[in-house]
Amino acid sequence: MKEKTVLLIKVTTIGKDKLLKLLRRNGIIGIKVVAIDSVDEVSELMKGMEINVIIYELSRGLWVHDLEFLKIITADIPKIVISRRADKKSLIELINTGSISYFLKIPFSEYDILQAVNTALEYNEIVLNKYNELTKEYFKSQIQKLNQIGIALSSEHDLEKLLNQIVSQARFLAHCDAGSIYIVEGDELHFMVAQNETLRRRHGEDYAEKLFKRFRIPISRNRISGYVASTGETLNLKDVYNIPSGVEYSFTDDFDRRNNYRTVSMIVAPMKDPDNNIIGVLQLINCLDEDGNVVPFDRSIEGLIQSLASQAAVAIRNARLLNKVKEATLDTIMRLSVAAEFRDDDTAEHLRRISHTSIIIARNFGLYRDEIELLRYAAPMHDIGKIGIPDSILLKPGKLTHEEWEEMKKHTIYGAKILGESDSEIVKASREVALTHHERWDGKGYPYGLKGEEIPLFGQIVSVADVFDALISKRVYKKAYPVDYALTIMRKGKGKMFNPEIIDSFLDGIDEILEMINKISPGIVDKEPVY
């Protein structure tokens, strides 16, 4: 059992040795009694020692300095006050506020002091047990929150959305008004995302676009974020406008002045990956109490924020790696697709247009983000099978013969064979697109004459994108049609060539599609009709 400490402060009526003997004689063991002569010694003593009961003697009544001292000593420690006389009103106030637990009037019996100390020790034990229980529950709940946050972060691979999610989760954990993230890029910090509840309420949901512009700053110790990025130290600042003198960093109030905002408390943590590399800085601003008042961040939250920052660093690193893999995969897909159609000068731009058009249609149709991302990789592979079509057919400027047309239609089968069977989701989706993007809603397409919902959704979407792009593009066998004429043909194909809902999704996004096409291939749209 852990030894308990009874602290005597200015006590003359009963010495520490006498009190200790009295306690032991009555079966109260495991007690240490410490005596001091001045309240000035208490703070220093409590830094290195756990005090369980305080006995405080008032030699000349209850003076103002006694009142102040008793109020500042933590309420978790039972306090027994002994005195020959004391102001009754002041004593009642101290008891009601929890500043003292017991009052013994001198003279008192051994039984009186024994009962008071014993009861105080029992109370202290209850408080400690309750505190430990609450502490365990608190940290258990916080760890659960961190685990949930970690799972949520690990499943988000879009970097910008991930960064916003990190700030949101950190603000939730720390209960604060605002937050932001800087990412380390070389010897600079890149300001990436920011959230501010006060400014959101003031300016509306699109406040971030209005107020927060991305910028870069050199990593320097004279700024708070730069200091944290340089040293790896977490800063917990009560008031950024009253930073202690002698430190290297200072607060820049440009944002506050520009937006009529007042930054007060701030906690700034480095985001370290498993190799201890600092990849960014997480900044949380203005901790809020239950009434919404700005207060300092509690020291107990620092460890949790550091843990979250580390989780965030891992998630950011993984998202970056995944994005690099995706970029490499897409680059490989595009190169393979271009190789399949290298005989066409417009191939690379055509593939990009098909991919982007398919994405816009899919988004308007309501596909999930993961499905849209998969389609982004699959769409460029739609004509991979043309690698098996002879030049004499593929590049023929005139009308194909029946036999040539039958051979041309086989590019869908060739594409499926090239892609073959695979466990890769990208390859599976690409094979599906290559095989079915020439099927028609009315069942008159090829190679299998699939009808309606028999046609895989990705095939339906790419079919619309491919036909529209073919209409507005120049081919060896035709001139490019103007947009209005092409759209007329597309509308006529609703319910015949195309799924009506897919066509509606295409038409809903036509302005965005045309804008995208003009960026990729300037001048391709709005040509004069050629009949």
CA 152 – CA 161 distance, rounded (Å):
12
Q: Domain check: are 440 and 511 in the same one?
A: yes
pLDDT at position 107, please?
Answer: 75
- The answer to whether residue 126 is domain-embedded is yes
Task: Classify each residue of 2-11 as buried b or exposed e, where b means 16 or more C-beta atoms within 10 Å of its C-beta.
Answer: eebbbbbbbb
- The answer to whether residue 18 is domain-embedded is yes
Choose the final residue of a domain: 97, 131, 165: 131
Q: Domain check: are 388 and 502 in the same one?
A: yes
CA 285 – CA 267 distance, rounded (Å):
7
Q: Domain check: are 372 and 455 in the same one?
A: yes
Q: Which amino acid is at 531?
A: Y
CA 67 – CA 277 distance, rounded (Å):
52
Rounded mean pLDDT for each run of 10 residues along the chain, 531 residues in total: 70 74 72 72 66 72 54 65 68 61 73 75 67 56 59 69 87 91 92 91 79 84 94 93 90 91 95 86 94 89 83 81 69 64 62 93 92 90 87 85 93 89 84 96 96 96 96 83 94 96 97 93 64 39
Q: Domain check: are 229 and 261 in the same one?
A: yes
Q: Domain check: are 498 and 389 in the same one?
A: yes
pLDDT at position 530, please?
Answer: 40
Q: Domain check: are 188 and 308 in the same one?
A: yes
- The answer to whether residue 145 is domain-embedded is no
Q: Domain check: are 210 and 75 in the same one?
A: no
Q: What is the CATH number of the domain that holds 351?
A: 1.10.3210.10
Q: Domain check: are 104 and 200 in the same one?
A: no
Whether the ω angle into residue 500 lies within 30 degrees of 0, i.e. cis, is no
How many domains are there within the chain?
3
Collapsing DSSP to helix, strand or coil, 479 comes out as coil
pLDDT at position 184, please?
Answer: 92
CA 508 – CA 20 distance, rounded (Å):
87
Q: What is the CATH number of the domain that holds 297?
A: 3.30.450.40
Rg for the chain, CA atoms, rounded: 37
Domain that holds residue 234: 156-318
CB 219 within 8 A of CB 230: yes
Q: Domain check: are 41 and 119 in the same one?
A: yes
CB 463 within 8 A of CB 439: yes
**Is the pTM of the predicted complex or chain greater than 0.75?**
no
Helix (H) or strand (E) holding 284: strand 278-288
Q: Domain check: are 255 and 199 in the same one?
A: yes
- The answer to whether residue 142 is domain-embedded is no
pLDDT at position 148, please?
Answer: 62
Q: Domain check: are 351 and 497 in the same one?
A: yes
pLDDT at position 399, please?
Answer: 87
- The answer to whether residue 527 is domain-embedded is no
Q: Domain check: are 185 and 121 in the same one?
A: no
pLDDT at position 527, please?
Answer: 46
What is the Cα 472 distance to its own chain's centre?
A: 43
Choose the final residue of a domain: 318, 333, 353: 318
CA 422 – CA 382 distance, rounded (Å):
17
